[in-house]
Each structure stands twice: as C-alpha cells, then as structure tokens.
Amino acid sequence: MRIATWNVNSIRARSETVVAWMEHHDVDVLAMQETKCHDDAFPLMSFLVAGYDVTHVGQGAYNGVAIASRVGLDEIEVGFEGMPPLSVDGREIVEARAISARCAGVRVWSLYVPNGRAIDDPHYRYKLAWLEALADRSALWLAHDPAAQIMLAGDWNVAQRDTDVWDPGFFAGKPHVSDAERAAIAAFLDAGLTDSALPYADGYTFWDYTSLRFPRNEGMRIDYALCSPALDTRVLGATVDRDARKPKGASDHAPVIVDLAD
C-alpha cells in the first residue's frame, strides 16, 4: 500500500493537479493539509471520478485537512480528544487541523500543526500545547493497543534537526527549530512512534515562494509521517517528490510518499 502526505496549499486551485499526481504515482491514500476551503466547497467530484473517497474538515481560506482513499475510508474522526482550541479575543476556536480514518486497516491521520508565528507569540504556546496534547493521546493509543497500525502524517511545522533546514543560523530565534518544538516532537518518538520516512527520504519538503528559495534549494524538512511500531515494520521505503514543487503555481510543499508491505 502507498500512503502519501501533502500540504496542497489550496485544494480548489490544485485539485486536478493533485488527482493527476495521485494517479501517476499509484497512491492509495493521500493525507492533505491546508486545503483552505469549507466542506461544501471541496472539489469532491475530481476525486470521486478517479476512484477516491474523501473526508474533509475545513475553515474557509485557512487551515483544512482531508484524506483521500481508494482502499476504504472508515471510522472517520475529526480532531482528537483533548485537542486544545485557539484563543482569539476571548473566544476559543477549534481549528480544522486534524482528521483521521481507517484505510485498509491503517489508522491514517492528516495533521496540520500550528505554525507558531514567533517565539513570543501566543500562537507559539498554542502550538506547543497542541503537540503535547497529541503526543499524550498517541501514547495512550499505543498503550491501549501496542499492535495498532497508526500513521500520523502531515505538515508538522517543526524541523527536528539542524540538517532539516538550509541554514540553521537563519532560523535562530525563530519557530520551527526551537528546543521546545523539537522536544515536543521527541515526545512522540519517546512514546514509541518512528519517523518512518527519514531513513529513505532525507530531503527538504518545503521551500518558501520568496527569495528564489526553491531554485537555491533553501528549504526545510517539516512534512513527515510518524508510524506506530507495528506499522513501521511494514515500511518498505519512502520518497520526497521534489518534482511536484517545480511547476509554476505549485504548492510550496512537496509530497512525501511512504510504501508499506501488504
């Protein structure tokens, strides 16, 4: 089975490209992030015609996560228990950042981790709280069922190592590389999950649109899939499709593909 994750950066603008890419690469399941549309505006028909069912939760022009699958889409869950809301002017907003479904026996999560914005920004504290809540929930899932087949896939907005960014000095004092963020990801690994694509696909997954970042390969590795121990034993390999970032009008992220043994 082939599972991929891709921050598509507006699915309405890129649905035909995404579906064509899935067909070309023989992808069974795609976790999508930053769809940027409400549920009723999601271009569902493009996926259905190609043989993919879709589940989606969106918030208009920002956030939004989805899963497209041609191998089943069962036991759908929107959000996770304990997922913290974002506080804005005294209001608490539950953002569209997590959705999951069981696809051919694998519990696939599509995750769009908060950006953080700046170290001194409330959004940064929200990001850490969000990751902590998900790590705690993940540890409970594995404790309840050590044989569970789980993949947490998505845009994590954290570069785990200095080698995951083109210039560590450029990012000093900024989100994505701070000790607290890296410790938040380490909590998932301590719970037993594995960054399963890393041994096979060590390249960058994101290049900003500005300053010719992509032609200069000034990128970041912030998109990846964390797998439960049982699922990690099935991983045959992984790739980052850098070519998907090349065309004019492409998303600023490249998809990450993980191949699993049946």
What pLDDT, on the 0 to 100 scale, is given for residue 89? 87
Single out the catalytic residue among 155, 195, 232, 241.
155
What pLDDT is attached to residue 210? 93
Taking only the tens place, the pLDDT of each residue in 8-43 is: 999 999 999 999 999 999 999 999 999 999 999 999
Q: For this structure, is 243 an active site residue? A: no
CA dist., res. 28 & res. 68, Å (int) = 8
To the question of whether residue 24 is assigned a binding role by annotation, the answer is no
Which CATH number belongs to the domain containing residue 229 in this structure?
3.60.10.10
224 in catalytic set: no
Write down the residue that tokens 């913290």 correspond to: 84
The string of pLDDT tens digits covering residues 104-140 is: 999 999 999 999 999 999 999 999 999 999 999 999 9
Query: DSSP string of 185-225?
Result: HHHHHHTT-EETTTTT--S--B--SGGGTTTTT--B--EEE
Q: Is 252 annotated as a binding residue?
A: yes
Domain limits at 128? 2-260
Please check if 74 is assigned to a binding site.
no
Catalytic residue among 52, 112, 126, 224: 112
Looking at the structure of the chain, the number of domains it has is: 1
Told to judge if 112 belongs to the known catalytic residues of this protein, a careful annotator would answer yes
Q: Does 34 count as an annotated binding residue?
A: yes
Mark the ranges of the chain whose per-residue pLDDT is less than 50. none
Residue count of the chain: 262
pLDDT at position 218 is 98
pLDDT, position 90: 86
Query: Going along the chain, which residue ranges are E strands?
Result: 2-7, 29-33, 53-59, 62-69, 74-78, 86-88, 91-93, 98-103, 106-112, 150-155, 194-195, 223-227, 235-240, 256-260
- 120 in a labelled binding site: no
Per-residue model confidence (pLDDT) at position 29: 99
